[in-house]
Structure 1
Amino acid sequence: MKPESRKPVEISSKRRPARVEALAALPLFFPLEGRKVVLAGGTEAAAWKAELLAAAGAEVHVYADRLDEVFEALFARGSVKGAFVHHQRLWSPECLAGAVLAVADANTEGEAQAFYCAAKTAGIPVNIIDNPKFCGFQFGSIVNRSPVVIGISTNGVAPILGQAIRRKIETLLPNALQDWAALAGRLRARVLSTLEAGAERRRFWERFCDLAFSSKPVQAAPTELEALFDKCGTPQAGRVTLVGAGPGDAEHLTLKAMRALQSADVILFDDLVDDSVLELARREAKRLLVGKRGGRESCRQEDINDMMVTLARQGKHVVRLKSGDPMIFGRAGEELERLEREGIAASVVPGITAASAMAAELGISLTHRDHAQSVRFVTGHSRKGDLPETVDWRGLADPVTTTVFYMGGRMAGRISARLIAQGRKPDTPVRVTTSVSRDMSRTWSGVLSELEDGVGSLPSDEPVLIAIGEVFSNRRMREECRSFPIAHPPGAAMAGRPQ
């Protein structure tokens, strides 16, 4: 019995929680250029804070009867932007007059409390270095591509984690980004005066950002920027991007997929796309659930095709977001053919397919040279809902081939019987995994003759991946993994909800 069709469903905020979850602290960016900051203490830790404050343009008044040699070297070198004023004496409440921030490296609890109270009385935000209970604000880790500045805070509870996050972000941002950001500031007035508010300006800045992340130097940009102004000032043709969302965990997304989601006007997504992936999309993007799920009520493919065409003709960037890789059992061929007939520009962003993610989770090579010289990805059912008859079943029975069946849960018994009838040994090792890469993922391990019962022991309403071959021949692993959930490392799946 064929599942009923349904219409696309727009996902509204009523179905999802608020976009902004609870914040440990409000991140703010505080201009300091030409403003007075008081810093009490002449230690090395105080020197680092003085250098940071002066780099933001502050006039840092340092109160200390003695300076650490690091501090003395800093004074001798000077600041890249601000200035230092050394007062060779201890601080007093009067020195806080006119200051906008107060920072101290206190030797004792009493000194920390006295400085904190004096700053509070003066109405000045205060920070006692490495003493959170006397801090009205905290310094976070910083990624500096000024004028692009990224602050990272763990609210004082895990500073080492903050530093690790900073290092991760540092590797993603090209050093030339600060030059591109400065150029954006110089172009802002021209964009406001020559391009219409709304879609034209957004298109310009999206393409500008593509250039900024292309690793091209700013000096090579003038010709391309002029072309951007010309293109964005004329009506924009719509386009469609087929994007692979990966098997579930948002951390499997490619950078190119992220950029597509961030530039989308409309996102047509399938049931299997995880909420954490949608959370990374542009907030203003319209989200339409066009669920396609085996054996369930689904949108007709013809309706999805019609919708892509209609939206693209309205000048929108449509992202067709598919679980896994769009070019593997994702009906991408039909969608691309329709878009080509309609003259609509289309591109594809590949994603990690479920079989690759499963192999990575299990730590098993699908083409381990001791066991398999080829791997085959096979659909578990035909258009008619039966076993696909056009598949070379005799070839799938090859003992040195790893075969992975997608969407084969309901056909497990028939797959097993057909392969055994074609000569595959009944004791061929098998791994079955549901909801690959997600927190609810479970796996069963056994042999081909037990496949139907093995699939039956797993959740019936989750997507199933059936992997068959000698690469799964570790018997100890098979015994340990029968119907057990796959252990995901902490943080492997992103928490959160779609916006």
Structure 2
Amino acid sequence: MTARRISPLQGPGVGASPEKAVQAEALQPMTPRGVQGGEGERVPVATPARIAPLPNLPLFHKLAGRKVVVAGGSQGAVWKSELVAAAGANVVVLAGSDIAARLYDDVAAHPASGTITVHARGWEPADLAGAALALADIADEAEALRFIAAAHEAGALVNIIDRTEHCDVTFGTIVNRAPVVVAISTEGGAPMLGQSIRARMESILPLGLSAWAKAAQSWRPLLKERVKSFQDRRRFWERFTERAWQNVDRAPTEADRDALFGGAAAAPRIGKVTLVGAGPGDPELLTLKAVRALQTADVILYDDLVGPDVLELARREARRVAVGKTGHGPSCSQRDICREIVALAKAGESVVRLKGGDPLIFGRATEEIDACRAAGVEVSIIPGISAAQGAAATLGISLTERLHARRLQLVTGHGADGKLPTDIEWAAIADPVTTTVIYMPRKTLAQFVERALAEGLDPATPAVAVASATRGDQEQVAGAVRDLPALAAGLRQGAPVTVIIGKVARERALAHADVLAFSKVSEAA
């Protein structure tokens, strides 16, 4: 029995991850006891640390009923006093003057929890006796050092506002879904970045999580009393978590509790299907509800028009299945897609059917909804930003105007047979006070324009063709509608195209007729 040495740099194979290297090392045959040296000796290999170095250790400090001293009169000190009072602390403020003391009037009158007592005088060392935490907004270096020494003498941790070099503890940016609390720290180096991260987390953590977390606290003692096995309790919390995310828009009820404590463990898992609009391409245009669905999905069936940046927002463990449907190219049959989503849901999976744009606009949603309902599978819909909206927004135009466009119509240039539909209402297309948006027009645009002109559409009507709307590689051409097919031929092959026809595009049509690249405002700035 021999052992093969694995280099900590090379691992089990070129390009292997550290985790796989550790797993491969664990699977190597062990050297027989007593064998030393030579090729049969197993050489110890260093394994990666389970966590990278931390600048600070994040802790959650219990302050309920404890004394906290705040010295100074500034908006920063006011906020810190309000924050620690929200954690239940009894805050003693030493403002330093009558004017500074008045800054605390509102927070002292209505603390979220705890108490706030304000004194106009300055701080003294005796004020720090019994304090768990001492906060101060002090500009003078010598006074700050005296405050720190007095606080340490009293056994209190210190935070000097905006002076991280003098702090035992610092305050992170907080996302509050109490009892769920998320704190974010940038080590004081980039507070605006921390606030930006908090804003993003605020957007994806629903307020309803708070009610479910409170229910978990209240149900925990009953769980310990009824369920003795650790594995059974773990399964309970797995089911609880799944139910919480599926019903995060409402508070838990007694029915939820009874279902979880009752025979839910033995009951088969019930799957569901959610049709989700991925928007036209820019992942920042996804709705909060769409992101939430992606982050709780077991399986995601997605179209070719859905970019990798959108899929990056999905739960890591979710299976991703490409069911590409691109116009005039190889595609999965709609029948197979319907069959697959129903089978997955019946197997207990939470299925997201992810579609470009809005799933209810030329997205073949009806077939999938009908298939789910016929099979008795729960189906729901999360709308998305449509290609029409995305294209118009990036062009900086409105799709309707009181004087020039009192009606908006969406038509497809791609029928079920791949050809221009035969039932288009051409009189409506020729209406001069209408905005027409054509979806999937790439192969049939010339035929569409020829027929529309023959039916009375003014050849000089402004028109724009947009490829890959809202994405970083967006392109567009604009001009009179009679010239649009020739102009659109210069757009990147394979890119999805949306066409807007009507007076709302007049400024774009007059500006330029060549292919123009699009840059997002944030990138240009």
Residue number among 306, 320, 323 corresponding to 1:273 in the alignment: 306
Match for residue 183 of structure 2? 151
Q: In structure 2, list runs of 5 or more residues that go unmatched.
A: 1-15, 18-51
Match for residue 161 of structure 2? 129
Residue number among 365, 386, 407 corresponding to 2:440 in the alignment: 407
Match for residue 515 of structure 2? 483
Of 245-254 and 43-52, deviating more is 43-52
CA distance in 2, matches of 1:160, 1:240: 39
Residue number among 439, 459, 468 corresponding to 1:435 in the alignment: 468
Residue number among 58, 65, 70 corresponding to 1:28 in the alignment: 58
Paired residue total: 465
User: 1:88 Cα shift?
Assistant: 8.6
CA distance in 2, matches of 1:250, 1:176: 24
Secondary structure of 2:446's match? helix
Residue number among 404, 410, 413 corresponding to 1:377 in the alignment: 410
CA distance in 2, matches of 1:471, 1:223: 53
CA distance in 2, matches of 1:339, 1:78: 51
Q: What letter matches 1:185 in structure 2?
A: Q
Structure number with bigger Rg: 2
User: 1:314 Cα shift?
Assistant: 1.2
CA distance in 1, matches of 2:238, 2:519: 42
State the identity as a percent. 43
Residue number among 210, 217, 227 corresponding to 1:185 in the alignment: 217
User: 1:370 Cα shift?
Assistant: 2.0
- Structure 1 residue 213 corresponds to structure 2 residue 249: yes
Secondary structure of 1:414's match? helix
Cα pair distance change 1:114/1:432, threshold 3 Å: farther
- Structure 1 residue 322 corresponds to structure 2 residue 341: no
| Greater RCO, CA 8 A, separation 6+ | 1
CA distance in 2, matches of 1:35, 1:239: 47
CA distance in 1, matches of 2:142, 2:514: 61
Alignment of 1:50-449 (within 5 A): 50=81, 52-53=83-84, 55-56=86-87, 69=101, 80-81=113-114, 103-109=135-141, 127-135=159-167, 138-153=170-185, 155-156=187-188, 159=191, 178-190=210-222, 201-209=237-245, 213-214=249-250, 221-223=253-255, 225-226=257-258, 232-233=264-265, 234-449=267-482
Cα pair distance change 1:300/1:55, threshold 3 Å: same
Give per-residue Cα distances to partners, 1:56-101, cap 9 Å, x unaligned.
Answer: 3568799999996369989999994489999997669xx89x9986
CA distance in 1, matches of 2:348, 2:86: 45
Cα pair distance change 1:271/1:202, threshold 3 Å: farther
TM-score when normalising by structure 1: 0.74
The question of whether the paired residues in 2 share the 8 Å contact of 1:54 and 1:84 is answered with: no
Of 53-62 and 232-241, deviating more is 53-62
The question of whether the paired residues in 2 share the 8 Å contact of 1:273 and 1:321 is answered with: yes
TM-score when normalising by structure 2: 0.71
CA distance in 2, matches of 1:206, 1:466: 42
User: 1:483 Cα shift?
Assistant: 3.2
User: 1:354 Cα shift?
Assistant: 0.9
User: 1:416 Cα shift?
Assistant: 2.2
Secondary structure of 1:410's match? coil
CA root-mean-square deviation: 4.7
CA distance in 2, matches of 1:27, 1:280: 28
Alignment of 1:467-482 (within 5 A): 467-474=500-507, 478-479=510-511, 482=514
CA distance in 1, matches of 2:53, 2:477: 40
The question of whether the paired residues in 2 share the 8 Å contact of 1:238 and 1:344 is answered with: yes
CA distance in 1, matches of 2:514, 2:144: 59
Give per-residue Cα distances to partners, 1:387-406, cap 9 Å, x unaligned.
Answer: 22343345423333322111
CA distance in 2, matches of 1:24, 1:471: 55
Q: What letter matches 2:405 in structure 1?
A: A
Q: What letter matches 2:243 in structure 1?
A: R
- Structure 1 residue 457 corresponds to structure 2 residue 493: no
Cα pair distance change 1:338/1:162, threshold 3 Å: same
CA distance in 2, matches of 1:135, 1:180: 35
The question of whether the paired residues in 1 share the 8 Å contact of 2:304 and 2:325 is answered with: yes
Secondary structure of 2:444's match? helix
CA distance in 2, matches of 1:212, 1:309: 24
